[in-house]
Amino acid sequence: MTPGLMLAGLVVGILIGLTGMGGGSLTTPFLIIIAGLRPVVAVGTDLAYSAVTKLVGGLAHARQGSVDLRVVRRLAVGSIPGSLLGVWVLHQLGERGDLADELVTRLLGVMLMLTAASLLFGKQMRGSTKPRSPVLERNKGPLTSALGLLVGFLLGLTSVGSGTLIMAVLLLVTRKRPGSQLVGIDVVHGAVLVSAAALAHWGIGTVDWEVAGSLVIGSVPGVLIGSRLALRVPERTLRPALALVLLIAGIRLL
């Protein structure tokens, strides 16, 4: 067990419990840039550790009564098949030498910058009073599942998206919900999605269990702390700093 990895897990766990975001967005680039793991292995390892973290966080939010399971189901209908498709694509590319690692690195850089943008502009989306079109209202369920499919696919490839990008989906398809409820939906759905993707990565042999174990030791208490703070700490104090870190990491990987 590595103290540095346990500390990283603690920090990321707090962010996951506090905002529903920041898991793969922070951990995967850390494992690639600092820990030196192959990009494909970094993705699988992050998903394996995040599955445990998000399951703990999901239970904590469920006990607080901040989860709408109907929305979780709508997202999962698309996101779980999408994640499995993403892992399958990685497995196929893995048979072509370093092509999979190159794809993961470049795509991860793009995803991190998209995540940074989502963090910065998500507040404006939540606060928008512009009425939605009748078409969007009538097809809210299928649209939620379709967007879940896209985010799930990207998550299977990069491990990024179960928190921040799903939050962006929630802000698009649902409004007039308190922030704590959006975070609860995000974390519970993330637990289901990440678990499915982690099992798929385990199946293709892209999980470093020693590294994942070190991260879990730190992240489990971290996510419990973050979940309790979610009702008290204003997100505006965290979003700009987190977005800046993700932007720098994204540029570094491109």
Whether the pLDDT of residue 86 is over 90: the answer is yes
Range of the domain at 194: 3-253
Q: Is the pLDDT of residue 203 over 80?
A: yes
Average pLDDT over residues 204-219: 88
Collect all residues with Cβ–Cβ distance below 8 Å to 196 and sequence separation of at least 6.
80, 83, 84
Encode burial over 178-206: b for 16+ CB neighbours within 10 A, e otherwise. Answer: ebbbbbbbbbbbbbbbbbbbbbbbbeeeb
Mean pLDDT of the residues in the chain: 80
The DSSP 8-state label assigned to residue 21 in this structure reads: -
Q: pTM (2 decimals)?
A: 0.79
Total number of domains constituting the chain: 1
